Chains A and B, each alone.
Chain A
Amino acid sequence: KQEVTQIPAALSVPEGENLVLNCSFTDSAIYNLQWFRQDPGKGLTSLLLIQSSQREQTSGRLNASLDKSSGRSTLYIAASQPGDSATYLCAVISGGFKTIFGAGTRLFVKA
């Protein structure tokens, strides 16, 4: 049974700091992995999708890496801004239809 864990559960950093969010999964037989952002009480916004054959994806100040063999993914946020404050969720997709989410990391960036 696939389980997804995100560490830390919460993080508070000063503006401008670079930071890393971690995601681990127990079954390496994944189809792809996706990082989402969720603002309080809102839906999910897709940030980056990494196919199982890829090692990383980049979008602006965000970089996500994937190491299937060790069951790990990281989301790197460069030069954090107060607008980055949100909950970040990682999700693994196995078998083409079942998406398993982690519980998320709540990020607060202080101005």
Chain B
Amino acid sequence: QKEVEQNSGPLSVPEGAIASLNCTYSDRGSQSFFWYRQYSGKSPELIMFIYSNGDKEDGRFTAQLNKASQYVSLLIRDSQPSDSATYLCAVNGRQAGTALIFGKGTTLSVSS
């Protein structure tokens, strides 16, 4: 059974701090990695995707991938109260038709 594991949280950080969200996956053949943000009762929206080992930066967000350790993380710099949401890690395999497997999400709370 392919799995994606996330700490459910809540992760609480003060405004302006760095929030670090982590995700591990079980399928060593996974090729595509995504971070989605979901506000309560709303649909998931893509924040970042990463395919290669290393770091990928987009504004205040940095995704980090380590395929050898089967680990992907999301860093949010200068956290804002509007970043308070549930963050979903999603992983996809290399085979055609392989579904995105979602973790259960980490709830982030940024206090002002």
> Do A and B bind?
no
- Residue numbers of B with Cβ under 8 A of A are none
